[in-house]
Chains A and B, each alone.
Chain A
């Protein structure tokens, strides 16, 4: 709980909701007749309306990227290290928009929302949403906020994929793109991890083909396993070793299957706290969005061709110990951007935190981040 709001925090923020009546045709073939998007904004939109930055969230993220919802909040938003007054995305200069994506479970229309047609929760009937669908929905949010062109779109991991997709789908509507700890598509190994996570959820006896809410139960065990697996892949071997080593909780081996090693305790804690706040049907859909993302796929597996209409300037950042979205994957993107003679910057940050590094306050990373955003602001003249 922050007894006082830190000076470089955006402070207490209140989410807002927008309703969209215009049907949204999805890649999977179905159409969402109407939907809501929950979002937060930080900073002020200038008169020229050219200082807006869109934040795209990753798998388990949401609209609450910075600041606090109340003085009772234990923690600030998930990217508070990078967003706020005088931070990398300086809210004194930028107007920041952060939303919960469609299919999410934090307020935007998703599996936990009541389907107006049936009067019941969508549950498993909620369609599978793709990155491109999200980008279309985000563009409508931009329309509603009267933002014709984003100064920058910034995202890490799955969020970076959305930022990249924006530059392909709406090249005229974004000037700068920051793609952090992401990839132009998942590898087989990455899809395999996602499939294990999905199987953990779907084979939980309490899953009931996704109708668990109707049965008044939750597929807790499955969701926990999925989260545990995810966490292992978001950290590096080195980071885990440093944090936990082989440390025992009670200082001795008990020859039991209770929690003995600290790392087991950590994983269980992460899993337990996740279950209360995340929906299993949403988790399944987020992993599918990751798997399906492949802009090159529509251009004969030629990423450079997929980026032919892109005009945005790019800053791509990867982390040395990130094996889930390794530097090599970011380089593939950089190569394709260079093929199109686009303005590209690329930095590989030395960090041992694995994929999670993109959320952490690593000084060199934040220096690069703020330097690039500074360039965005200077170019925009604000």
Chain B
């Protein structure tokens, strides 16, 4: 079973391509892409039980810590797509990993929980407490999401790093995309999904 953000990703993948899935979890996204889009590739995962699940799913999984970067394993331009779904916000150095994604891949695809969503804003504004929602169910002290950002934050970082955003979708917690979402993505989108590439000759 794919998560809705993963289903969205599948629409963006050209068949027959090479893929690296960062934080591949139980391997179901890569498995799905292998079965239905004829892709090949690897999944990277740190968690023991998820590595085992990935191995069970039949994908090729490498146990590794993304906070150490990708230079231990991969040369420049090794993949067509480097995917990272709902993982960026749990990284120690998300900005560096973003660069690593575009070093080893031609395009990056990222999904993350949008901290700018109105529920988060409302909880912080009215309750004065860190938001706890369906998308972000953990409390501040036990969450692995140490680098949450908003749609605007992410796009500003892309701008700063010379990353061109090719596609953006935001979905609500029921993973619908009502027309309103397009008008105010940072306010109404709960999960953000981006496809991006390096700008040529960016200094």
Residues of A within 8 A of B (CB): 313, 331, 334-335, 338-339, 343-350, 364, 367-368, 371-372, 375
Contact = CB atoms under 8 A, between A and B. Distances in A.
A94 to B, nearest CB: 18
Contact of B48 (A334, A335, A344, A350): A350
Given A331-B72, A338-B73, A347 B51 contact: yes
Nearest to B74: A338
A371 B52 contact: yes
Given A338-B73, A364-B52, 6 more contacts: A339-B75, A344-B62, A347-B51, A349-B48, A371-B52, A371-B56
A339 B71 CA distance: 12
13 contacts: A313-B60, A331-B72, A343-B60, A344-B60, A345-B60, A345-B61, A345-B62, A346-B62, A348-B63, A350-B48, A364-B48, A368-B51, A368-B55
Nearest to A335: B73
B75 A347 contact: no
B73 A334 contact: yes
A21 B88 CA distance: 62
Chief secondary structure at chain B's binding surface: mixed
A365 to B, nearest CB: 10
Contacts of B55: 345, 347, 368, 371-372, 375
Chief secondary structure at chain A's binding surface: helix
Contacts of B62: 334, 338, 344-346
Interface residues of B, number: 16
A344 B72 CA distance: 14
A347 B60 contact: no
Nearest to A318: B63
A334 B73 CA distance: 7
A345 to B, nearest CB: 5
Contacts of B51: 347, 368
Nearest to A343: B60
Given A345-B60, A347-B63, A375-B58, A335 B72 contact: yes
Contacts of A371: 52, 55-56
A367 B42 CA distance: 20
Contact of B52 (A331, A343, A367): A367
Contacts of A338: 42, 62, 73-74
A349 to B, nearest CB: 8
